[in-house]
């Protein structure tokens, strides 16, 4: 029985070894582990056993968190969030640049493109230098967002090939971000996937202040956005169902399933054909 114990043959001071045993080991049946630990000389008494168990468990938990944060899907989550942050901040600062530039230069404009134009100016005064410097920061943020998007578009198909094929790399990465990672997304029912990104609307519905949302971030997918409003609920359910399957395949097996795309295309085509049939009946 002692051979199954996490402390079997372990030096009492080897907390790291205990952490590995706790993470990787298992026992065929439960036992009075504190008593066995005392009998084996691993601990002087039960109190010391529980203290060593606590230290090893905490170490195992820290190792698991570090491993999880370094996982490829988590790196992708960080990248897509950083991309969105850079883009949002660039657009917000571009508004400030436009206001400032409009107060100092005749050819005022708007948006990041105007910031790019202003960033090329040769400033003459201290105020000009600051306005131009801010414009250059806007350009840098926008270019960083572009670089991050390129990374996301390249990396997502490697981590979640089926999800990326169905949703597109950027939307797939945003779904992973909203879910907290590939494993978490793979465990969610399709109904939850359907409304990811619509949490505010969902909570308002639960309070009785709004109707149930038909879709969340998947609205940006052509299958939903390209369907007439009255059929978008059906399109969202069809898309969410396939995305859920794709996430599970990517997490548990990783093999590519092109038939998912064909099935989705057929289903969306059937839904969108309702509009044409309705128009024909109206005539």
The predicted-structure confidence for 223-239, as pLDDT tens digits, reads as follows 999 999 899 999 999 99
Domains and CATH numbers, the chain: 2-69 (no CATH), 72-159 (1.10.287), 160-283 (1.10.246.90)
What is the model's pTM?
A: 0.72
Check residue 44 and give its pLDDT: 87
What is the 3-state composition of the chain as percent helix, strand, coil, each rounded to the nearest 5?
75, 0, 25
State mean pLDDT over 100-115: 87
Q: How many CB atoms lie within 10 A of CB 135?
A: 27
Check residue 11 and give its pLDDT: 85
Check residue 166 and give its pLDDT: 95
The listed range with the strongest mean pLDDT (11-25, 124-138, 201-215) is: 124-138
- pLDDT band of 176, cuts 50, 70, 90: very high
Q: How many CB atoms lie within 10 A of CB 157?
A: 16
Query: Considering only CA atoms, which of 238, 243, 242, 246 is closest in space to residue 272?
Result: 238
What distance in Å separates the CA atoms of residue 138 and residue 131, rounded to the nearest whole number? 11
Q: For 25-37, b where at least 16 C-beta lie within 10 A, e where not — what string?
A: eeeeeeeebbebb
The chain-wide mean pLDDT, for the chain, equals: 87
Q: Is the pLDDT of residue 257 over 80?
A: yes
Percent of the chain with pLDDT over 90: 54
Percent of the chain with pLDDT over 70: 88
Question: ∠ CA 77-85-116 to the nearest 5 degrees?
Answer: 130
- pLDDT band of 281, cuts 50, 70, 90: very low
What distance in Å separates the CA atoms of residue 156 and residue 185, rounded to the nearest whole number? 14
The listed range with the strongest mean pLDDT (55-69, 129-143, 249-263) is: 129-143
Q: Is the pLDDT of residue 118 over 80?
A: yes
186 versus 20: the higher-pLDDT residue is 186
What distance in Å separates the CA atoms of residue 113 and residue 139, rounded to the nearest whole number? 9
Check residue 283 and give its pLDDT: 39
Query: 3-class SS at 204?
Result: helix
User: Contact 18/55 with Cβ under 8 angstroms?
Assistant: yes
What distance in Å separates the CA atoms of residue 247 and residue 189, rounded to the nearest whole number? 11
What distance in Å separates the CA atoms of residue 148 and residue 141, rounded to the nearest whole number? 10
User: Contact 186/92 with Cβ under 8 angstroms?
Assistant: no
What distance in Å separates the CA atoms of residue 257 and residue 52, rounded to the nearest whole number? 47
State mean pLDDT over 191-214: 76
State mean pLDDT over 86-99: 96
What distance in Å separates the CA atoms of residue 104 and residue 25, rounded to the nearest whole number? 69
């Amino acid at each position: 029985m002692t051979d199954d114990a996490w402390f079997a043959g372990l030096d009492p001071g080897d907390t790291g070894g205990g952490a590995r045993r706790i993470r990787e080991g298992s026992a065929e049946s439960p036992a009075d582990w504190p008593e066995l630990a005392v009998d084996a000389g691993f601990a002087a008494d039960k109190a010391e056993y529980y203290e060593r168990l606590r230290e090893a468990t905490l170490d195992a938990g820290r190792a698991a968190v570090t491993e999880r944060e370094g996982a490829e899907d988590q790196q992708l989550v960080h990248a897509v969030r950083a991309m969105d942050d850079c883009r949002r901040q660039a657009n917000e600062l571009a508004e400030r640049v436009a206001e400032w530039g409009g107060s100092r230069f005749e050819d005022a404009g708007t948006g990041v493109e105007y910031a790019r134009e202003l960033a090329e100016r040769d400033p003459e005064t201290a105020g000009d230098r600051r306005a131009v410097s801010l414009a250059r920061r806007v350009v840098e943020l926008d270019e960083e967002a572009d670089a991050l998007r390129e990374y996301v578009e390249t990396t997502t198909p490697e981590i979640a090939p089926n999800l990326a094929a169905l949703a597109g790399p950027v939307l797939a990465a945003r779904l992973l971000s909203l879910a907290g990672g590939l494993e978490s997304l793979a465990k969610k029912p399709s109904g939850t996937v359907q409304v990811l990104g619509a949490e505010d609307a969902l909570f308002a519905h639960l309070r009785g202040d709004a109707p149930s949302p038909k879709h969340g971030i998947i609205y940006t997918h052509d299958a939903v956005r390209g369907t007439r409003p009255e059929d978008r609920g059906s399109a969202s359910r069809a898309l969410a169902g396939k995305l859920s399957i794709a996430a599970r395949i990517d997490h548990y097996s990783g093999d590519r399933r092109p038939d998912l795309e064909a099935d989705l295309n057929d289903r969306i085509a059937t839904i969108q054909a309702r509009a044409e049939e309705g128009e024909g009946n109206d005539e």
